[in-house]
Amino acid sequence: MTTASVLRTFEQTLARYTDPIEVGAALHRLAEAVIGVKVFTLTAINMEAGHVRRVYSSHEDVYPLLGTKPLEIDDWFERMRTERAIDVINTAAGMEGNFGDLDLIRTLGCNASISVPAMAGNELLGTINALDAEGRYTADKAEAAQALIVPAVVTFLILRRHFTL
């Protein structure tokens, strides 16, 4: 399937969805086409309340949609918020010390990650969080991930209407 056809399917899903999970799944399919993913989640951010919430998960058995958890404002988060930087870790060694659930991530066959911020009105709405096999997220894939930003903004704006953040 071409990126253009997946983008068209994404748009059609947004136009006709009845369940908000369909919107997250449409962005997931788009990300699979653009950058490739093994594990895909969307994390919505509520700065005012000081917490985050997972609003979509490709693997709900290990990354369920639960309630909110406190927002951790660290260097990674600040780069997302201030620089709107796409964060890439492409090696097993690079993953060390960056994920509290690294053992779980590795059981899923993942040793690379990419995080894509979605902002609107100077507010970080949320992040795309994708995991895959070591070496997946090359510089070309990081550049390609920029094509996911606008669809992610739309997705988060829709999902905010359906989830208590």
Q: What is the 3-state secondary structure (H, E, C) of 80-132?
A: HHHHCCCEEECCHHHHCCCCCCHHHHHHCCCCEEEEEEEEECCEEEEEEEEEE
What are 89-105's pLDDT values in tens digits?
A: 999 999 998 888 999 99
Q: Which fold has domain 3-159?
A: Beta-Lactamase (3.30.450)
* pLDDT for position 44: 96
**How does DSSP classify residue 61?**
T
Name the pTM for this structure.
Answer: 0.94
Cα separation of 7 and 26, whole Å?
9
Ranges of each domain in the chain? 3-159
pLDDT at 165 over 80: no
* pLDDT for position 23: 97
* pLDDT for position 40: 98
What are 71-129's pLDDT values in tens digits?
A: 988 888 888 899 999 999 999 999 998 888 999 999 999 999 999 999 999 999 999 99
